[in-house]
């Protein structure tokens, strides 16, 4: 005669063993995904800290930002992108983060404190205030090949393409695209594109 208790014990032991295997398999997948993520971030991304108030409210001073170093190897910056660069390729300078306003061939002018690109008012949708300083863009300028006109979102607290010592940013001086704020946690998330 068969004992009921013995077969129940074997079945329970099999269930426990398969549950443990499933847990190890799931943990292994998590470790693999984490490792792949780390490799991608290490080789194609960099974490930089924003210096200054020029990009507020999108990026605050002291925010840690992930920068995609790969994207501009295969495509060109577009208006609305936040690019990271060293002005005029100056290796002694810190990295700047500014928003692309105009691309090669565009005409830019700042009139009465507002930006006009190709004769049309440029609005970011970020509530940018009227500018006090037009700089080199007081007269209409045409953006050259491989160059980009950039401005900080906090227009009156920004050193950008309006300033003669920075000017238009050359593509070869662009380090990458800032796309995600990773610290502090209250600002965690993607950087807004900046269009209404």
Per-residue pLDDT, 46:
84
pLDDT tens by residue, 163-191: 999 999 999 999 999 999 988 989 898 99
Phi/psi at 32 (nearest 5 deg)?
-65, -45
Instruction: Average the pLDDT over 58-86 and give the result.
Output: 93
pLDDT tens by residue, 106-124: 999 999 999 999 999 988 7
Q: Are 135 and 37 in contact (CB under 8 A)?
A: no
End-to-end CA distance of the chain: 79
| Top-confidence residue, 9 or 59 | 59
Q: What percent of the chain has pLDDT over 90?
A: 52
């Amino acid at each position: 005669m068969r004992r009921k208790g013995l077969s129940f014990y074997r079945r329970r032991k099999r269930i426990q063993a398969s549950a443990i295997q499933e847990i190890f398999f799931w943990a292994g997948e998590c470790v693999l995904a984490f490792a792949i993520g780390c490799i991608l971030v290490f080789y194609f991304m960099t974490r930089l800290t924003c210096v200054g108030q020029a990009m507020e409210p999108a990026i605050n001073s002291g925010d840690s930002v992930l920068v995609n170093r790969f994207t501009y190897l295969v495509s060109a910056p577009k208006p609305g992108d936040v690019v990271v660069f060293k002005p005029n390729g100056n290796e002694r300078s810190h990295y700047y983060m500014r928003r692309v306003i105009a691309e090669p061939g565009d005409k830019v002018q700042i009139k009465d404190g507002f930006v006009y690109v190709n004769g049309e008012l440029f609005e970011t949708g970020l509530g940018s205030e009227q500018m006090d300083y037009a700089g080199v863009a007081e007269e209409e300028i045409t953006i050259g090949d491989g160059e980009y006109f950039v401005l900080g979102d906090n227009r009156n607290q920004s050193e950008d393409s309006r300033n003669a010592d920075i000017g238009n940013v050359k593509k070869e001086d662009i380090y990458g695209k800032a796309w995600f704020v990773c610290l502090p946690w209250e600002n965690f998330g993607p950087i807004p594109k900046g269009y209404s």
